[in-house]
Amino acid sequence: MLLKTIIIDDEPAICSELEYLLKKYIDIQVDAIYTNPLEALPHIINSEPDLLMLDIQMPGMNGLEFAKTLNQMSNPPLIVFSTAYHEHALEAFSTLAVGYLTKPIMESKLDDVIQKVRTLRKRAAMNDRTATVPLMEEHVCIRKSNKIIPIPVGQIYFAFVREKDLYVATKESIDKCDLSLNELEEILNRSRSFFRSHRNYILNVKYIKEIIPWFNHTYLIKMNDDSQTDIPVSRGRMKAFRGLMNL
């Protein structure tokens, strides 16, 4: 299955380079190239491409704003961001982007992103074939004031174990959950937004506010909850975290 692809970057040289790099993938078809996202919008709406290679730093409307506009489509394309500025990485993960490339683009990083795109497209096609009824958003149950309350997993900022008990944090509160951390991780992994940063912590990468270099070449993650909670990344999870966040 060919993946219809559109490249948007305000630098023509970068567009040409990306088009050249993408030629080696037999299932990638570059359908159009634009240097202005607003000019590309009508074509995207009409042609419904599978993949958008999108620059972030552009005049008029930047790539992050443009991606949020596309999320209103009934069938938005998968988005891979590219930029020379590392500080945009966290903002990119707050959108529905599936990948993030830093300039100059390394072929090995592009290989990884294209493989991820293929996997997601294959999974989506399989779901389309097997779906019979609309799926409810996954949820877990917490205990609050002697009540059991289900919450959507998308509202979970992080979870942690303290004295053998599991706690789940949303933006405003932290409440006990009867699952084990491993059981919760199995559920959260299906959303592809969560990362096990430490044996006692799982975090939602969409709600990361800052990544702070810490001792022993590790990181401390400041979350975007009301308390701006700090969460450690253990040394054993550093490689996986750097790969996830393109650090």
Cis peptide before 232 (omega within 30 of 0): no
pTM metric for this prediction? 0.55
Kind of pairing, strands 139-144 and 78-83? unpaired
Contact predicate 5/28, CB 8 Å? yes
Q: How confident is the model at residue 119 (pLDDT cuts 50, 70, 90)?
A: confident
Contact assessment for residue 95 and residue 63, using Cβ atoms and an 8 Å cutoff: no
Comparing 93 with 18, the larger pLDDT belongs to 18
Tokens 């443009």 belong to residue: 66
Q: For residues 118, 246, 8 and 154, what is the CA-based torsion angle, rounded to 10 degrees?
A: 70
Q: How far apart are CA 62 and CA 58, in angstroms?
A: 5
Residue 134 has pLDDT above 90, yes or no: no
- The residue with tokens 């996986």 is 240
Of 245, 222, 246, which Cα lies nearest the Cα of 232? 222
